[in-house]
Amino acid sequence: MLYPRERLLELEAERLAPYAQKGKDTQGRQYPEGESRFRTPYQKDRDRILHTTAFRRLEYKTQVFPNWAGDYYRTRLTHTLEVAQVSRSIARALGLNEDLTEAIALSHDLGHPPFGHTGEKVLHELMREHGGFEHNAQALRLLTQLEVRYPGFRGLNLTYEVLEGIATHEAAYPTGFRPEYPGQGTLEAQVVDLSDAIAYAAHDLDDGLRSGLLRPEELSEVPLLQELSKAEGLDLSRLDELSRRILVRQLLGYLITEAIEATHAKVAAAGVDSAQAVRQHPERLAALTPQGEKAHGELKAFLKERLYRHPQVLRERRRAEAVLEGLFAAYTRHPEILPREVQARIPEEGLERAVCDYLAGMTDRFALEAYRQLFP
């Protein structure tokens, strides 16, 4: 039995919740093109994202620990995959469009530069007089302009709903994306945003413990971790590898469950019966329960103080700042040393934006090697 696109769209419309974004209701693509015989529009978008150069580069971009710190720490790529897994789990429980959710999740961090959020802050400062820098806006630039994979247009020509999902991630619509339906975004996009926060809280705790920058006895400061460890019979003062994995798994399960239950309750109370009604609702509907939000906030505050501000992490940030500032100064002062394809974009984009795009696309190790070559 075959399931062509038309039948897949029918099945999707039959089984998804009324407030989900259906593939049959897509606002389409900027450039007309034929759809796949056996894939829905959002499945096609997901596949296009997976095959981009930008997606592959995420493997060598920092999450918290730089790539050279060890083989087992999360990178921007593994973070993205974990966000996709959490997003699909929540989307399935709520009757949302999993393919749209996954496409947004896989693309939500494509615009991140090397060295994580430090790199983003540095590029924003360097570009303050030239339009600034923000990773959501950069992801949109990648997917609508910078990735050139088709002869008829620049970018990937993704559906409106995927681009909307990137634009509404953690921020208002960035410059360059004009929403046809301004508002909160689809519930699928909101779920990805929430899943991002859930995933990094859990895996940053895991990486912090693995690295030794977080000591197990410190975890007793976080009420939720105390509660989960007690329920599992774990001793926070002596966490071995298996106990750490159990704790992180239970944490992730707790936050996902709280997200599903809270979002379901808010959707029911709001009475939304379409994706458009979700967009127009005055507040976001994807959320944690009050107790889940409190527990998540306490965990984030703990990680900020004990991990993100750890001297070793801060030393790596200083190195990242020096590298990006040095490269930006060198390339804007001597654009003739840039690759020819970057030089070719200067008349259209401007020198600073062309350099910024080049730097944002670098991996951590490529940026370090470029810096070593310029400043031996």
DSSP string, 293-328: HHHHHHHHHHHIIIIIT-HHHHHHHHHHHHHHHHHH
Over the stretch 134-169, which tens digit does the pLDDT of each residue have? 999 999 999 999 999 999 899 999 999 999 999 887
Is the confidence at residue 286, as pLDDT, over 70?
Answer: yes
Using the predicted structure, report yes or no on whether residue 183 has a pLDDT greater than 90.
no
Torsion sign, CA atoms 128, 134, 135, 141: negative
CATH of 5-40+64-112+130-310, one of 2.40.10.10, 1.10.3470.10, 1.10.3210.10, 1.10.760.10: 1.10.3210.10
**Within the chain, where are the H helices?**
5-15, 41-50, 53-57, 76-94, 98-107, 116-126, 135-141, 160-167, 187-211, 223-232, 241-270, 275-280, 290-303, 311-333, 340-343, 346-349, 351-360, 364-374
Neighbouring CB atoms inside 10 A of 243's CB total 18
Instruction: Say what the pLDDT of residue 1 is.
Output: 87
First to last CA, the chain: 63
In the chain, what is the greatest distance between 2 CA atoms, to the nearest angstrom? 64
Per DSSP, the residues of 329-350 read HHHHH-GGGS-HHHHTTHHHH-
Confirm if 256 and 198 have CB atoms less than 8 A apart. yes
Confidence of residue 178 (pLDDT cuts 50, 70, 90): low
Mean pLDDT (the chain, rounded): 93
pLDDT in tens, 323-338: 999 999 999 999 999 9
Residue length of the chain:
376
Give the DSSP letter string of 214-240.
S-GGGGGGSHHHHHHHHHHT--TTS--
